[in-house]
Structure 1
Amino acid sequence: MLASLWSLATPLMAYPDEPSHTIKAAAVARGQFTVQEGQSFGHGVHVQVPSYIANLSAQTCTAFKRDVTAACAPAVPMDDNYLTIGVTSAGLYNPMYYWLVGLPSLFLTGAPAIIGMRIASALLCTAFLAAGMTALTKLRNPKWPLAAAAVAITPMVLFLSSGINPNSLEVAATMAAFCGLLVCLESSSRLGQVKPAIATVGISVVVLANTRNVSLVWLLIAFVVAVAFYGFRSLGKLFHNRTVLITAGVMLVGVGLGLLWIVLMLFAPGSTAAAPEGITNLVAGVRPHQAFLTMIDRAFDFVPQYIGVMGWLEVPAPQAVIQFWSMLLMLALLVPFTARPRRNAVGFWIAAGALAIVPAVVQAGLIGSVGYIWQGRYNLPLFMIAMISAGMAVRFRRFDPAPSFRGVARVLVAAAAVAHIYTFVYVLRRFVVGLKDSGNWQVMLTRPDWQPPFGWILLAVVYAILIYLGASAAYAYFFPGYSLARLPNFAGRIRRPTVDSPPRDEPGDVPEKPSRHA
Structure 2
Amino acid sequence: MDSTAGRPAAFPSHDNRMVLRQFLRTFAFLSLLTSLWSLATPLMAFPDEVSHTIKAAAVARGQFVVQAGQSYGHGVHVQVPSYIANLSDQTCTAFKREMAASCAPSIPLDDNYLTIGVTSAGMYNPMYYWIVGLPSLIFSGAPALFAMRIVSAVLSSAFLAAGFTALTRLRAPKWPVAAAAVAVTPMVLFLAAGINPNSLEITATMAAFCGLLVCLENSRNLAVVKPAILTVGISAVVLANTRNVSLVWLLAAVTVAVTFFGFRRVGMLFHNRTVLVTSGAMAVGVGLGLWWIVLMIFAPGSTAAAPDGITNLVEGVKPHQAFLTMLDRVFDFVPQYIGVMGWLDTPVPQAVVQYWSMLLMLALLIPLTSRQSRRALGFWVALLALAILPAIIQAGLITTVGYIWQGRYNLPLFMILVIAAGMSVRNRSFESTPELRNVGRVIIAAGAVAHVYSFIYLLRRYVVGLHDTGNWQVMITHPEWQPPLSWIGLSALYAGLIYLGSAGLYRYLFPSYELIDKFRGFSGSPAATGSEAPRS
Calculate the TM-score normalised by the size of structure 1.
Answer: 0.95
Q: Which residue of 2 aligns with 1:90?
A: 121
Identity fraction in percent: 73
Residue 400 of structure 1, CA deviation: 2.4
Q: Which residue of 2 aligns with 1:492?
A: none
Q: Which residue of 2 aligns with 1:516?
A: none
| The one of 442, 446, 455 aligned to 1:411 | 442
User: Could you say which structure has the greater relative contact order, defined with CA pairs below 8 angstroms and 6 or more residues apart?
Assistant: 2
d(CA) in 1 for partners of 2:97 and 2:310? 20
Deviations 1:393-436 (A, max 9, x none): 00100112111111111100000000000000000000000000
Q: Which residue of 2 aligns with 1:239?
A: 270
d(CA) in 1 for partners of 2:309 and 2:369? 39
Deviations 1:139-195 (A, max 9, x none): 000000001100000000000000000000000000000000000000001100000
Residue 332 of structure 1, CA deviation: 0.3
Matches within 5 A, 1:478-493: 478-487=509-518
d(CA) in 1 for partners of 2:304 and 2:485? 40
Paired letter, 2:381: I
Q: CA RMSD in A?
A: 1.6
Paired letter, 1:359: P
Residue 469 of structure 1, CA deviation: 0.4
Aligned-partner SS, 2:400: helix
Gaps of 5+ in 2: 1-31
Q: Which residue of 2 aligns with 1:293?
A: 324
d(CA) in 1 for partners of 2:233 and 2:136? 29
Conserved? CA contact 2:433–2:527, under 8 Å? no
Aligned-partner SS, 1:164: coil
Paired letter, 1:87: V
Matches within 5 A, 1:61-80: 61-80=92-111
d(CA) in 2 for partners of 1:89 and 1:366? 17
Paired letter, 1:20: S
Q: Which residue of 1 aligns with 2:217?
A: 186
d(CA) in 2 for partners of 1:246 and 1:186? 20
Aligned-partner SS, 1:57: helix
d(CA) in 1 for partners of 2:188 and 2:480? 27
Residue 486 of structure 1, CA deviation: 1.8
Matches within 5 A, 1:254-265: 254-265=285-296
Paired letter, 2:517: R
Distance 1:347 1:330, change over 3 A: same
| The one of 237, 240, 255 aligned to 1:209 | 240
1:439 aligns with 2:470: yes
d(CA) in 2 for partners of 1:196 and 1:221? 22
Gaps of 5+ in 1: 488-494, 512-518
Residue 234 of structure 1, CA deviation: 1.0
Conserved? CA contact 2:101–2:481, under 8 Å? yes
Conserved? CA contact 1:481–1:505, under 8 Å? no
Paired letter, 1:434: G
1:55 aligns with 2:86: yes
Aligned-partner SS, 1:333: helix
d(CA) in 2 for partners of 1:8 and 1:242? 44
Residue 271 of structure 1, CA deviation: 3.2
Paired letter, 2:128: Y
d(CA) in 2 for partners of 1:18 and 1:272? 18
Conserved? CA contact 1:278–1:375, under 8 Å? no
Deviations 1:193-245 (A, max 9, x none): 00000000000000011000000000011111000000011111100000000
d(CA) in 2 for partners of 1:510 and 1:317? 37
Calculate the TM-score normalised by the size of structure 2.
Answer: 0.92
d(CA) in 2 for partners of 1:188 and 1:433? 55
| The one of 33, 53, 57 aligned to 1:22 | 53
4+ aligned runs moved over 4 Å, structure 1: 276-280, 503-506, 508-511
Q: Which residue of 1 aligns with 2:259?
A: 228
Q: Which residue of 2 aligns with 1:372?
A: 403
Aligned-partner SS, 1:271: coil
Aligned-partner SS, 1:74: coil
Q: Which residue of 2 aligns with 1:461?
A: 492
Residue 392 of structure 1, CA deviation: 0.3
Deviations 1:305-359 (A, max 9, x none): 0000000011000000001101100100110101121100110000000001100
Paired letter, 1:163: G
Paired letter, 1:287: K
Deviations 1:238-292 (A, max 9, x none): 0000000011111111111110000000000113232289976210001111111
Q: Which residue of 1 aligns with 2:418?
A: 387
Q: Which residue of 2 aligns with 1:39?
A: 70
Aligned-partner SS, 1:281: coil
Paired letter, 1:232: F
d(CA) in 1 for partners of 2:44 and 2:461? 15
Q: Which residue of 2 aligns with 1:477?
A: 508
1:421 aligns with 2:421: no
d(CA) in 1 for partners of 2:327 and 2:287? 32
Distance 1:276 1:294, change over 3 A: farther
| The one of 137, 141, 144 aligned to 1:110 | 141
Distance 1:145 1:278, change over 3 A: farther
d(CA) in 1 for partners of 2:387 and 2:418? 13
Q: Which residue of 2 aligns with 1:500?
A: 524
| The one of 434, 451, 468 aligned to 2:482 | 451
Conserved? CA contact 1:174–1:219, under 8 Å? yes
Paired letter, 1:8: L
Residue 500 of structure 1, CA deviation: 2.3
| The one of 409, 414, 431 aligned to 1:400 | 431
Residue 390 of structure 1, CA deviation: 0.3
Aligned-partner SS, 1:22: helix
d(CA) in 2 for partners of 1:7 and 1:295? 32
Residue 503 of structure 1, CA deviation: 4.2
Aligned-partner SS, 2:405: coil
Matches within 5 A, 1:153-172: 153-172=184-203
User: Paired residues, what number?
Assistant: 503
Aligned-partner SS, 1:370: coil
Residue 40 of structure 1, CA deviation: 1.3
Paired letter, 1:135: A
d(CA) in 2 for partners of 1:442 and 1:276? 39
Paired letter, 1:502: P
Q: Which residue of 2 aligns with 1:350?
A: 381
Conserved? CA contact 1:281–1:373, under 8 Å? yes
Paired letter, 1:63: A
Distance 1:343 1:329, change over 3 A: same
